Amino acid sequence: MNDDAFQYKIYIDTTTRRLWRALTDPTKTKKWWNVAFITDWKVDSTMDWKMGHLTIRDSEQVVLESSSPTRLAYTWHTFSPGWASASGYVEEDRLKLANEPRSKVAFDIEKANGVVCLTVRHDGFEFGSAVHEAIREGWPPLLSSLKTFLETGEPLEFSM
């Protein structure tokens, strides 16, 4: 592994508690991300990723840190055949993603001059990682959708 981490900072006109709920409440994540996380958010608890009728369940998909409302971290999801089909990935590309070591994502939430600063750090990639390339393209529109959702009540309309 190297330190080829993805890091992104975004400032949102909200409170730390509202942002925390937007990251952890499945009814809210479904609105801005189209994914509902089914977990109790306790460290070492598994996380099911629910996308429409598809539920991705894996014992290695776990909560790593959970300190409301300032820090949340979990292992990145399982690249299952069902996920690939729902996300428009061909099997060859899914296998590239699935054969890499599992990465992790962390969210740091802090007050900053009347707004909230969210720092997302996604790391644990090998050199030349296909997952790293995919998340580099995926996080900016997702975080923009989160910001828009918290500031207006509606997520961005975009397709990945």
**Domain carrying residue 78:** 6-152
How far apart, in whole angstroms, are the C-alpha atoms of residue 66 and residue 44? 10
pLDDT (0 to 100) of residue 3: 58
Query: Would residue 136 count as lying in a domain?
Result: yes
**Is the pTM above the cut of 0.85?**
yes
Query: Would residue 14 count as lying in a domain?
Result: yes
pLDDT (0 to 100) of residue 154: 93
CB 22 within 8 A of CB 146: yes
> Is 70 exceeded by the pLDDT of residue 121?
yes
pLDDT in tens, 39-77: 999 999 999 999 999 999 999 999 999 999 999 999 998
Query: Would residue 159 count as lying in a domain?
Result: no
* pLDDT > 90 fraction of the chain, expressed in percent and rounded: 89
pLDDT band at 1 (very low <50, low <70, confident <90, very high): very low
Query: Would residue 157 count as lying in a domain?
Result: no
Domain count of the fold of the chain = 1
Query: What are the residues whose beta carbons fall under 8 Å from the beta carbon of 115, sequence distance 6 or more?
Result: 11, 12, 13, 14
Closest of 109, 3, 30 to residue 65, by C-alpha: 109
Using CB atoms within 10 Å of the CB of residue 70, give its burial: 0 to 12 exposed, 13 to 18 middle, 19+ buried: middle
